[in-house]
Amino acid sequence: MPTQSFADLGVPSSLLPALTERGITEPFPIQSATLPDSLAGRDVLGRGRTGSGKTLAFSLPLVARLSGGQRRSGRPRGLVLAPTRELATQIAAVLEPLAAAAGMRITTVFGGVSQRPQETALKGGVDIVVACPGRLEDLLSQRVLTLDDVQVTVLDEADHMADMGFLPGVTRILSKTPERGQRLLFSATLDNGVDKLVQRFLHRPVTHSVDDGRSAVETMEHAVLEVADADAKKHVMEALASGTDRRILFVRTKHVAKRLAKQLTAAGIPAADLQGNLSQNARERNLAAFSTGGIRVLVATDVAARGVHVDDVALVVHVDPPTEHKAYLHRSGRTARAGASGTVVTLVLPEQRRDVAALLRAAGIKATPTSVTATRQEVEALLGEVAPKVAPTAVAAPVQPQRKPARQGEPRRTGEGRGQGGARRQAEPGQGGQRRQGDAGQGGQRRQGESRRSGEPQRSGRQQPARGGQQGPRRSAPTTVRFSTATPGSGIAPLHADQQPERPQSRRGPRRASRP
């Protein structure tokens, strides 16, 4: 049977150029299955795994059915509910070119950012709102907008909404939309109360399922690497992160995500973290760097398990295995998207073997565990066997952070600074000589033998030491990088001014403490 085109499925001709400009020419199965019904105005229940093309499946009928309508202040005609800010942002990115082709406006509504721009956009009039439940309820209670004119409502990742405890809020929001409006609900599963939403808010829905919500993607390869201890795990993780294409490393806690991203960057592997403690601007900045190739490694918690939609992610690594099979599938779904291939690697410590085996059985994954030792040569050889598409061509010796020579006039970042009670070390060869005016509150340059007050001789005992001689009582930057998922913060070379090591006590501090 020949493949149907978007035009064959009923997509208006005015929207087709917006698809072809993005290289979208053939519909995915979920789109072929749902578009005829959703474009006809029927309620649709779509079931499909992440990466199956659901966003476009509801974006096309949403824009097509609302085009040509009148825009009114604070009264959107289309509503999309999403569980996370990242997902809302990426849904809006898919909708934008379609809405522009139809002369429509959209806006996003979610927390973590200022409310004022969202209020301004809504008062100016928008056709479609893409929102997270929490901020949307806030704006509704403040009467910034009303949902009385909503004609089409979309609930995306409904099962994730349930997992995050959003269903009560979603129920209240859907109750404020017109009872006979069209509703499209997309979910990988119907558990945890999603079925109750379907029964209450969808009218005689047409159900389309392209998978069972549990099975693995055929183009995804799975590998399980058993490591003897944290040291072996460190070597394997570093090797997996050192490839040339995009890869995501999932860890369990926000603290580990932040620390591991810093350690990888210090070791010469550009990385950024994506976790719940980041501001929305920082999340967007890190995700944009990952999407555009500014960095190739993203270290993330489960906040990114569904919200990250980036093309060409070659590898997902479960550095810390998840606790249940749905999280495994959603994390793994960051690769092998839209028909592309990908590899998933899970690192397992001895005490995790039984739990991971049970998790993989529940997820329908068959992967034979392979033991890994701590030598880097064996790691390289083994990755070439179990994950040849992502194995580095050569795993170099551990990278030691080099002390970057300062350009002329640039201060060194070694914890030396104001209030440390000791003289600064004379500039070493190749480091640019004297410091620029105003460095560290000095108010100007200093010559050897001068104190902080310009031209005043230094006091006895605080002379500038000769090059190569004994240094004052200050702490220098570390010279090794340790990759550890257990001991926080040790051995990380400072990357930025606000990430410097703790400063040593001033000379006055101990003397004052010793007085009776």
Residues 312-351: tens digit of each pLDDT: 888 999 999 998 888 898 888 888 776 677 899 999 999 9
Range of lowest pLDDT (126-135, 187-196, 210-219, 437-446): 437-446
Can you give the pLDDT at residue 4? Answer: 83
Does residue 502 surpass a pLDDT of 50?
Answer: no
Can you give the pLDDT at residue 164? Answer: 82
**121-146: average pLDDT:** 97
Does residue 214 surpass a pLDDT of 80?
Answer: no
Does residue 302 surpass a pLDDT of 90?
Answer: no
Dihedral over Cα of 311, 314, 317, 318: its sign: positive
Quick one: residue 438, left, alpha or beta (phi over 0 = left, psi -120 to 50 = alpha)? Answer: left
Can you give the pLDDT at residue 377? Answer: 66
Topology alike, domains 13-209 and 220-386: yes
Can you give the pLDDT at residue 334? Answer: 84
pLDDT tens, residue by residue, 324-333: 888 898 888 8
Alpha helices in 73-201 (DSSP H): 85-101, 116-124, 133-141, 158-163, 167-175, 194-201
Q: CA 193 to CA 147: how far, in whole Å?
A: 23
Whether domain 220-386 has CATH 3.40.50.880: the reply is: no
What is the dihedral angle through the alpha carbons of 308, 27, 153, 303, rounded to the nearest 10 degrees?
-10
Tokens encoding 363: 């997820």
Does residue 110 surpass a pLDDT of 90?
Answer: yes
pLDDT tens, residue by residue, 453-469: 444 444 444 444 444 44
Q: CA 250 to CA 341: how far, in whole Å?
A: 19
Does residue 6 surpass a pLDDT of 50?
Answer: yes
Bridge-based pairing of strands 152-155 and 78-81 is: parallel
Of residues 337, 297, 341, 303, the one with CA closest to residue 322: 303
Instruction: Please answer whether residues 102 and 124 qualify as being in contact, where contact means their C-beta atoms are separated by less than 8 angstroms.
Output: no
Alpha helices in 269-311 (DSSP H): 280-292
Q: Average pLDDT of the chain? A: 77
Of residues 298, 329, 283, the one with CA closest to residue 163: 329
Does residue 429 surpass a pLDDT of 80?
Answer: no
Residue owning tokens 């009560």: 168
Can you give the pLDDT at residue 378? Answer: 66
Q: In 10 A of CB 347, how many CB atoms?
A: 24
Can you give the pLDDT at residue 155? Answer: 96
Does residue 24 surpass a pLDDT of 80?
Answer: yes
Hey, where are the domains in the chain? 13-209, 220-386
**100-129: average pLDDT:** 95
Range of lowest pLDDT (76-85, 161-170, 233-242, 407-416): 407-416
Share of the chain above pLDDT 90, in %: 43
Architecture of domain 13-209: 3-Layer(aba) Sandwich (3.40)
Can you give the pLDDT at residue 379? Answer: 65
pLDDT tens, residue by residue, 153-212: 999 988 888 888 899 999 999 999 999 999 999 987 777 788 889 999 999 999 998 764
Can you give the pLDDT at residue 137? Answer: 97
Can you give the pLDDT at residue 218? Answer: 61
Of residues 42, 33, 60, 39, the one with CA closest to residue 183: 42
Can you give the pLDDT at residue 253? Answer: 93
Of residues 254, 249, 266, the one with CA closest to residue 501: 266
**132-140: average pLDDT:** 96
**66-91: average pLDDT:** 93
Can you give the pLDDT at residue 115? Answer: 95
Displacement of CA 300 from its chain's centroid (Å): 6
**11-31: average pLDDT:** 92
Can you give the pLDDT at residue 160? Answer: 84
Q: CA 422 to CA 419: how far, in whole Å?
A: 8
Can you give the pLDDT at residue 391? Answer: 60
Can you give the pLDDT at residue 163? Answer: 80
pTM of the model: 0.61
Tokens encoding 204: 């005689």
Backbone angles phi, psi at 67, to 5 degrees: -65, 145
Tokens encoding 166: 């959003």
Can you give the pLDDT at residue 217? Answer: 52
